[in-house]
A and B are shown apart, each in its own frame.
Chain A
Amino acid sequence: DQQVKQNSPSLSVQEGRISILNCDYTNSMFDYFLWYKKYPAEGPTFLISISSIKDKNEDGRFTVFLNKSAKHLSLHIVPSQPGDSAVYFCAASRRTGGGNKLTFGTGTQLKVEL
């Protein structure tokens, strides 16, 4: 049962444009959401997170939006840079009693072209 889904395995964007990565979840108990970025042959690195009490969190070029009613979140990167080319994983967890047991999506490969 895939509780966190990233339906787009890949995305290609031109440098300077906006990248929008999408994520859907099915478990209504999830109340904390994270995005991780992964380069080849490296481990995932934390990018940005959002609590379910918010609908937006911004950090520099990265903004995460949460739509609880639709069980959908998205990561916006603007402007996109070639160094942003990586696999982006969406993850979700339950704060109460869930521990740091993150449930990950399968990732979206972002390619930022010159």
Chain B
Amino acid sequence: DTAVSQTPKYLVTQMGNDKSIKCEQNLGHDTMYWYKQDSKKFLKIMFSYNNKELIINETVPNRFSPKSPDKAHLNLHINSLELGDSAVYFCASSLGTGLAGVTGELFFGEGSRLTVL
């Protein structure tokens, strides 16, 4: 029973298209994240939501729009895809935000590999 699941696992698309990646967690966590791993293997945070509220928003182009319909789901929509968006996108969740001074363990999904041609 997958704790953090992402769909699709692989996505190949043309430049200029709009695509979405979905994420769901069944751990009962209240905080979810999107991380991006680029070609140089850097794993960087993009967004974090706590109970559907945005709490971390790194310097990410406006073409990326996260949406959290409820605390178990965090979707990532990307408009006007560019070549540089090709990466593996990881969703994660944790119990708590870490803002209270206690860093919570993050549970990651398997990743969604996006290839923009």
Residues of A within 8 A of B (CB): 2, 32, 34, 36, 41-46, 49, 89, 93, 95-102, 104, 106-107
Most interface-central of A43, A44, A95 (chain B CB within 10 A): A43
> Which residues of chain A are within 8 angstroms of B105 by Cβ–Cβ distance?
34, 46, 49
The stretch of B14-22, B64-72, B89-97 in contact with A is B89-97
Please tell me if the beta carbons of A100 and B90 are within 8 angstroms of each other in the complex. no
Residues of B within 8 A of A (CB): 4, 31, 33, 40-45, 48, 55-56, 90, 92, 94, 96-99, 101-111
5 extra interchain contacts, Cβ-Cβ under 8 A, other than A43-B108, A106-B41? Answer: A41-B110, A46-B106, A98-B99, A99-B48, A106-B40
Which residue in chain A gives the minimum CB-CB distance to B55?
A: A99
Please tell me if the beta carbons of B43 and A43 are within 8 angstroms of each other in the complex. no
> Which residues of chain A are within 8 angstroms of B108 by Cβ–Cβ distance?
36, 43-45
Please tell me if the beta carbons of B110 and A93 are within 8 angstroms of each other in the complex. no
Please tell me if the beta carbons of A100 and B40 are within 8 angstroms of each other in the complex. no
> Which residues of chain A are within 8 angstroms of B96 by Cβ–Cβ distance?
100
Please tell me if the beta carbons of B92 and A98 are within 8 angstroms of each other in the complex. no
> Which residues of chain B are within 8 angstroms of A98 by Cβ–Cβ distance?
98-99, 103
> Which residues of chain A are within 8 angstroms of B31 by Cβ–Cβ distance?
100
A100 to chain B, nearest CB (A): 4
Please tell me if the beta carbons of B56 and A43 are within 8 angstroms of each other in the complex. no
Of B4, B97, B109, B110, the contact of A99 (CB 8 Å cutoff): B97
How far apart are the CA atoms of A100 and B99 in the complex, in Å? 7
> Which residues of chain A are within 8 angstroms of B102 by Cβ–Cβ distance?
95
> Which residues of chain B are within 8 angstroms of A104 by Cβ–Cβ distance?
42-44
The contact sample of 17 A-B pairs, CB cut-off 8 A, is A2-B42, A41-B110, A42-B110, A43-B4, A43-B108, A43-B109, A45-B107, A49-B105, A89-B43, A95-B101, A98-B103, A99-B56, A99-B97, A100-B48, A100-B94, A101-B45, A107-B41
